[in-house]
Amino acid sequence: MRADPYDLVVVGHGAAGLAAALAAAESAHGARIAVLERAPHAESGGGSRWSPSNMRMKSVSELAPDFEQDMVRACGERTDRAYFRRLAAEAPSTLAWLEGHGVKFHTPGYYLSAGPPRIQAVGGGAAILEAMERAAKATGVEFHYECPATRLLTGAGGAVEGGEAISAGTARTFATHAVVLASGGFEGNAEMLREQFGPGGASLRPISPGSVYNRGEGIRMALDAGAQRAGDWNGMHAEPVDARSRQSAPVVLVYPYGIVVDRDGKRFFDEGAGLVHETWEHVARAIHFSAPGRVAWAILDARMFDISGYERAIRSELPPLRADSIATLAALAGISPEGIERSVAEYNASCTGDPARFDATRADALSAAPGLVPPKSNWARAIERPPFLAYPLVGAIAYTFGGIATNESAEVLGAAGPIPGLYAAGEITGHFHGTAPNAVAMMRALVFGRIAGAGSMKRQTR
């Protein structure tokens, strides 16, 4: 091991890792800090680089109302309240800190349907990374790209003393007083996805180019060093995307306003069960794990174009398939014509509510008549005005929920409490259960990254 240990080694160059490196550098001038990143510089940043980074805040200084309660609702009784309380307490100062580094925030035009208030960094996650990387480089933080971390080294009492990584094809040891693991989840690891989600897990489409770099080594390294598992290992954030598109996150979130059918033309879930951010995970999983061929089609009619701002809910660069009859649409899409004609006829017959009540922006309770299977709870308006439209959909994975246990100080927890010198933040930590709380993942990466970085330096001066 080298004689001149680092004060801190950060694994991962996403939002959590850069927040940790920068906060550490600012809280201990002259500290020797290294960031290890698997990807080349241009592709570094994991999910953060591709994330629009919506944040559940009313403004930079004010959280969305009912924040903590909403976390409990999203994650169920398994929520770690102390974690979310600290997140709520530190979010405004963390965003002010980013503003101090030149990040600007605005209120985004969010998809279509209502939900909690959200703000967004102008330029999204890429702008946040750029600002933090610039500031960290100015303080002398070292960056090692194409340098995947592989192992933690521990000493007496399990304390972290170093990390191993592959640099220029050879193993290199980084002796250090502390490590912050910020290497994301395991959405880029087909084998781990198969283990957790069954055979279909391995073929889940990554939602962004950055997702493929997160292969779960950080989680494995921590578990090998005695960390506890936490979070919902059967949980993931996934969204329905245009099957034809090759761009990042080409989500198609107009499905609540029509129906979704499989290749046999059958509906297989309630498309209007809730607002899109309440249903997108279920929809993406249902398509990937239940539909034959792991593909489905959102079917709408010309009235989609009358929905004000409908374009905001479609991030695909490709137009929908369109035809003047359902049969021709079926032929274009490769859906069973008899099946889809039957489904549309049944659905249309059950759209007995007053279509004037249709309101795309909220759960409008315009439900299909009882008896329709599966039901349609909101936005049930007949599909009858040509041209008829179809978007082919597949489920794409954004990130996994299963990870390692951390406390509200971002310390990694072993069986007997915090593992000395080991911190973690962001996706690698397991705090989400059931469904991802909307517009919280980026905030928590930044907040707990900053806490981890500053905390790791404080520990060394105690």
Q: Is residue 402 a contact point for ligand FAD (CB under 6 A)?
A: no
Q: Residue 95 or 182: which CB sits closer to ligand FAD?
A: 182
Name the one range near ligand FAD by CB under 6 A: 10-18, 316-324, 333-341, 382-390: 10-18
Site string for ligand FAD, 51-90 (x = CB under 6 A): xxxx------------------------------------
Pairing of strands 8-11, 179-181: parallel
Q: How many CB atoms lie within 10 A of CB 168?
A: 8
Q: Is residue 189 a contact point for ligand FAD (CB under 6 A)?
A: no
Q: Residue 55 or 389: which CB sits closer to ligand FAD?
A: 55
Name the one range near ligand FAD by CB under 6 A: 25-33, 298-306, 322-330, 436-444: 436-444
Q: Is residue 176 a contact point for ligand FAD (CB under 6 A)?
A: no
Task: Pick the binder of ligand FAD from 21, 33, 34, 47 (CB under 6 A).
Answer: 47
Contact 7, 28 (CB under 8 A): yes
Task: Pick the binder of ligand FAD from 98, 135, 230, 249 (CB under 6 A).
Answer: 249
Phi, psi of 105 (to 5 degrees): -120, 150
Contact 291, 255 (CB under 8 A): no
Q: Residue 22 or 340: which CB sits closer to ligand FAD?
A: 22
Q: Residue 52 or 162: which CB sits closer to ligand FAD?
A: 52
Q: How many CB atoms lie within 10 A of CB 383?
A: 23
Name the one range near ligand FAD by CB under 6 A: 46-54, 130-138, 317-325, 350-358: 46-54
Contact 17, 452 (CB under 8 A): no
Structure tokens at 386: 């040509």
CA distance 447 to 444: 5
CA distance 276 to 289: 19
Min dist CB 421 to ligand FAD, Å, is 18
CA distance 119 to 121: 7
Min dist CB 221 to ligand FAD, Å, is 8
Site string for ligand FAD, 88-127 (x = CB under 6 A): -------------------------------------x--
Residue 374: cis peptide before it, omega within 30 degrees of 0: yes
CA distance 37 to 199: 30
Contact 445, 19 (CB under 8 A): yes
Q: Residue 230 or 249: which CB sits closer to ligand FAD?
A: 249
Q: Is residue 136 a contact point for ligand FAD (CB under 6 A)?
A: no
Q: Is residue 400 a contact point for ligand FAD (CB under 6 A)?
A: no
CA distance 33 to 5: 10
Distances in whole angstroms, Cα of residue 58 to Cα of each of 116, 119, 246, 448: 8, 7, 33, 20
Structure tokens at 230: 């936490």
Task: Pick the binder of ligand FAD from 398, 419, 447, 452 (CB under 6 A).
Answer: 398
Q: Which residues are at the interface with ligand FAD (CB under 6 A)?
A: 11-17, 36-39, 44-48, 50-54, 125, 148-149, 182-184, 207-208, 210-211, 213-215, 217-218, 248-249, 398-399, 426-427, 439-443, 445
